[in-house]
Amino acid sequence: MLYKIGDFSKKCGVSVKTLRYYDEINLFKPVDIDLFTGYRYYSENQLDDIKVILMLKDASFSLEEIKKYWNNFDDNIMLNKKKELFKEIENMQDKIREIDYLRSNIIKGKIILNNKNKDNNIKIKKL
């Protein structure tokens, strides 16, 4: 069974605009395009593919990465993405520590840096 783009959009929860964009960038193509009307048609079999794309996006893969690895995903690619995400977590934890340090130095609405109270684990970026 083939679905027009609007019906497929409702079935998979992806906007028509997004489906058109995925087609434009050659990430996710309809199985058929009517030459006279230009209507895009998608098959039931494509539902799993769009679900995989959405899951990969949720896992922080860019559309470019999804397109690049679409037929070549392996464990190393997944492990590398996992490492990237752990690095992002570390960076966020550094930012949280920085906020905590700054919070501890608020005096009468102003942040006053006191070097003798400064936590040595906080990395202050040079301006």
**Whole-number pLDDT of residue 59:** 96
**Whole-number pLDDT of residue 126:** 54
**Whole-number pLDDT of residue 114:** 75
Task: Check if CATH label 1.10.1660.10 holds for domain 2-69.
Answer: yes
DSSP state of 125: P
Report, as an integer, the average pLDDT of 8-16.
97
Question: In sequence order, which residues have a C-beta less than 8 Å from that of residue 41 and are 6 or more positions away?
Answer: 2, 3, 4, 5, 30, 31, 32, 33, 34
Q: What percent of the chain has pLDDT over 90?
A: 86
pLDDT category at 124 given cuts 50, 70, 90 is: low
| Boundaries of every domain in the chain | 2-69, 84-117
Average pLDDT, the chain: 92
Q: What percent of the chain has pLDDT over 70?
A: 90
Residue-level length of the chain: 127
Residue 122 has pLDDT above 70, yes or no: no
Residue-wise pLDDT tens digits, 23-82: 999 999 999 999 999 999 999 999 999 999 999 999 999 999 999 999 999 999 999 999
Residue 127 has pLDDT above 60, yes or no: no
